[in-house]
C-alpha cells in the first residue's frame, strides 16, 4: 500500500530552503500561527519534591518515555503549566526531543509546551510537523555553555499546513504506518533481548560448572560451594574470595580543578555514564587523578546502577563511582575473572543498599566469592564463551541494525508525507479501523527514554 503512493499533481516553492516545494494548495506558516507556545520556567525548589503533592513536574526531557513522560517529581506551585494533550519539547540539550502530555504537567526551563489552536489544526499533524522541522531547529540551538533554543526560535519555525481534512488524512495514514513499523521493531527488540538472556545463561552455566565446555556434559562429580546462590561446583574447583584472585582499586574523586574536557592528562571516568558496549567512551580528562586503573582491568560501577561492567582499553583515572578489578597475572585468566564477576552480580545487588543511593564498598567487592577452576580450564571456558558470544553478538547486531533501518524509514516516511512529497489522501480513506485493544498494545511501548509565552506575540496573518 505504501509503495503505491504518488506525488501531488502540482507544487510551488515553499520559500523555506530545507523544505523545498510543497503542494500548490498548501500553506507554509510559522508555528505561532498554528499553536500557542508555553516556555517552561523553574519554580522554587521548596515547592518541588518526590511527594505526590501538586502537579507532576518535568524540568527537562530526562523523564520522557516512548510517547508519554514518566514523572518522578511533583510541584505544588509550578510557574508554568502544560495542558493535557500538548506537545512537550526539550529546548535545552538535547534540543528537540518530543513527548505528549497525557495530563497537566508543571514544566521547567528545559521544556516548552506546544498547544495547537483547537479546531483549526489537527494536534497530531502539528506534532508531525514539528518533527520534520527539528533539523532547522538544530541550526539555532547554539549557546556558550549548552545548546538551547528560545521561545522565538520555536514560535518562528515554519511548517507546512495542508487543509484540515487533509491533515486528518495524513495523521490517519501515519498512525497506521507507525503502528506497523513499531510492531516489527518490538519483535526485533524481543529477539535481541532473548539473545542477551541466552548469552547470560551460557555464561552462568559455564562459569559455575553446570556444564563442562570441553565435553558439553556435566562434570562427573560435584561438591557444595558453601555459597547459597552458587550451589554445587565441580569437585576439583575452588571457591575463593575475589581479593584472592585480583586486586581491587576503589576509585576516588580528584580535585575538580584538575579535570576538564581538554585532552590533558589521563581520560577520566567518574562513574559508568560513559561506559560503552565493551570499552568506555570518555569525555573528561584529569591531569592529577587520585586513583588509576591500569589497561586491561575490569571496570565496575560501585554506585547506582551497581554492577555495570566495562574493560579498560587504556589507563583511566577513576572516580568514586567505579572500581578497577585487576586479576593477578599468571594465576588466573583475566577474562574468566570478568565472567566470574558477571555471575556474582546478583549477590552484589543484595549488598548495594544505602540511605541515599545504592552503593557497595571495596570490602563488598573484594569479598565476593567466585568459582575458580584450574587455569587451563579457565582458558577453555573463556575460549568457548568468546566463540559463542561472537555468534550471539552478530545476531544481536543484525537485529539492532534492522531496528535502525526501520527507524530511518519511519523518519523518511513522516518527512515525505508531512512535507507533501507523497499524497496519502486516497490510501487513508481505504485504511481499516484498528481494533481498540491493538492500539493499546502498540501504545504501550516500554521497550522502545527565555521565560515567555507566545501570547506575548501578536497572532499575525503575516509570516514575517
Domain assignment present for residue 34? The answer is: yes
55-58/73-75 β-pairing? antiparallel
For range 293-322, the mean pLDDT: 94
Task: Name 191's bridge partners.
Answer: none
pLDDT above 50: residue 201: yes
Residues 208 and 306 in one domain: yes
- The pLDDT tens digits of the residues spanning 117-156 come to 988 888 899 999 999 888 667 655 555 445 788 999 999 9
Query: Would you state the pLDDT for residue 444?
Result: 37
Residues 158 and 77 in one domain: yes
- The pLDDT tens digits of the residues spanning 59-108 come to 999 999 989 999 999 999 999 999 999 999 999 988 889 999 999 999 99
The CATH number of the domain holding residue 20 is: 3.90.220.20
55-58/369-372 β-pairing? unpaired
- The pLDDT tens digits of the residues spanning 209-252 come to 999 999 999 999 999 999 888 889 999 999 999 999 999 999 99
Residues 166 and 216 in one domain: no
- The pLDDT tens digits of the residues spanning 157-194 come to 999 999 999 999 999 999 999 999 999 999 999 998 99
Query: Would you state the pLDDT for residue 139?
Result: 58
Residues 302 and 277 in one domain: yes
Residues 316 and 347 in one domain: yes
pLDDT above 60: residue 279: yes
Domain assignment present for residue 47? The answer is: yes
316-318/266-269 β-pairing? parallel
Residues 410 and 301 in one domain: no
Cell 481499516 sits on residue: 432
The total of other beta-carbon atoms located within 10 Å of residue 168's CB is: 16
Domain boundary residue, one of 383, 413, 442: 383
Residues 239 and 95 in one domain: no
Residues 63 and 202 in one domain: no
Domain assignment present for residue 394? The answer is: no
Residues 302 and 217 in one domain: yes
The total of other beta-carbon atoms located within 10 Å of residue 176's CB is: 19
Domain assignment present for residue 344? The answer is: yes
pLDDT above 80: residue 302: yes
Residues 224 and 371 in one domain: yes
Domain assignment present for residue 389? The answer is: no
- The pLDDT tens digits of the residues spanning 448-461 come to 433 333 333 334 44
What is the span of the domain harbouring residue 149? 2-181+402-456
Domain assignment present for residue 464? The answer is: no
Across the chain, mean pLDDT equals 88
Q: Which of 287, 260, 283, 261 minimizes the C-alpha distance to 271?
A: 283
Domain count within the chain? 2
Contact 356, 288 (CB under 8 A): no
Query: Would you state the pLDDT for residue 432?
Result: 83
Residues 175 and 222 in one domain: no
Task: Name 241's bridge partners.
Answer: 369
Residues 171 and 48 in one domain: yes
Q: Which three cell numbers stand for residue 117?
A: 489552536
Domain assignment present for residue 59? The answer is: yes
Domain assignment present for residue 388? The answer is: no
**DSSP designation for 95:** T
Amino acid at each position: 500500500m505504501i509503495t503505491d503512493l504518488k506525488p501531488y499533481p502540482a507544487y510551488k516553492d515553499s520559500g523555506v530552503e530545507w523544505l523545498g516545494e510543497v503542494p500548490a494548495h498548501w500553506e507554509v506558516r510559522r508555528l505561532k500561527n498554528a499553536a500557542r507556545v508555553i516556555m517552561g520556567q523553574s519554580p522554587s525548589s521548596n515547592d518541588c519534591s518526590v511527594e505526590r503533592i501538586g502537579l507532576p513536574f518535568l524540568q527537562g526531557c530526562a523523564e520522557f518515555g516512548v510517547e508519554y513522560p514518566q514523572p518522578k517529581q511533583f510541584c505544588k506551585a509550578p510557574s508554568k503549566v502544560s495542558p493535557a494533550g500538548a506537545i512537550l519539547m526539550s529546548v535545552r540539550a538535547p534540543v528537540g526531543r518530543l513527548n505528549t502530555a497525557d495530563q497537566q504537567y508543571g514544566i521547567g526551563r528545559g521544556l516548552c509546551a506546544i498547544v495547537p489552536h483547537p479546531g483549526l489544526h489537527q494536534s497530531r499533524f502539528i506534532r508531525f510537523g514539528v518533527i520534520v522541522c527539528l533539523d532547522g531547529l538544530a541550526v539555532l540551538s547554539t549557546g556558550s555553555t549548552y545548546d538551547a533554543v528560545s521561545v522565538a526560535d520555536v514560535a518562528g519555525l515554519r511548517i507546512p499546513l495542508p487543509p484540515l481534512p487533509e491533515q486528518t488524512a495524513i495523521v490517519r495514514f501515519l498512525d497506521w504506518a507507525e503502528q506497523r513499523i513499531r510492531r516489527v521493531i518490538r519483535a526485533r527488540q524481543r529477539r535481541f533481548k532473548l539473545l542477551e538472556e541466552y548469552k547470560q545463561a551460557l555464561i552462568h552455566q559455564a562459569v559455575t560448572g553446570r556444564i563442562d565446555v570441553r565435553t558439553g556434559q556435566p562434570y562427573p562429580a560435584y561438591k557444595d560451594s558453601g555459597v547459597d546462590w552458587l550451589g554445587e561446583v565441580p569437585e576439583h574447583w575452588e571457591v575463593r574470595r575475589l581479593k584472592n584472585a585480583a586486586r581491587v582499586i576503589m576509585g576516588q574523586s580528584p580535585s575538580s580543578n584538575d579535570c576538564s574536557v581538554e585532552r590533558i592528562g589521563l581520560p577520566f571516568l567518574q562513574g559508568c555514564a560513559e561506559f560503552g558496549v565493551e570499552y568506555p567512551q570518555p569525555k573528561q580528562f584529569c591531569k592529577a587523578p587520585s586513583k588509576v586503573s591500569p589497561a586491561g582491568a575490569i571496570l565496575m560501577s560501585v554506585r547506582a546502577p551497581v554492577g555495570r561492567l566495562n574493560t579498560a582499553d587504556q589507563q583511566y583515572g577513576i572516580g568514586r563511582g567505579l572500581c578497577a578489578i585487576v586479576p593477578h597475572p599468571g594465576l588466573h585468566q583475566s577474562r574468566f575473572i570478568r565472567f566470574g564477576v558477571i555471575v556474582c552480580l546478583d549477590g552484589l545487588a543484595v549488598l548495594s543498599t544505602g540511605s541515599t543511593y545504592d552503593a557497595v564498598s571495596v570490602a563488598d567487592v573484594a569479598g565476593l566469592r567466585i568459582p575458580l577452576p584450574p587455569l587451563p580450564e579457565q582458558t577453555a571456558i573463556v575460549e568457548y564463551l568468546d566463540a559463542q558470544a561472537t555468534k550471539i553478538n552478530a545476531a544481536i547486531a543484525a537485529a539492532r541494525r534492522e531496528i535502525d533501518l526501520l527507524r530511518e524509514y519511519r523518519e523518511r516516511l513522516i518527512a515525505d508525507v508531512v512535507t507533501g512529497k507523497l499524497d496519502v489522501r486516497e490510501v487513508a480513506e481505504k485504511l481499516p479501523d484498528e481494533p481498540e485493544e491493538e492500539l493499546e498494545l502498540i501504545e504501550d511501548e516500554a521497550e522502545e527514554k527565555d521565560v515567555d509565552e507566545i501570547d506575548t506575540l501578536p497572532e499575525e496573518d503575516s509570516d514575517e
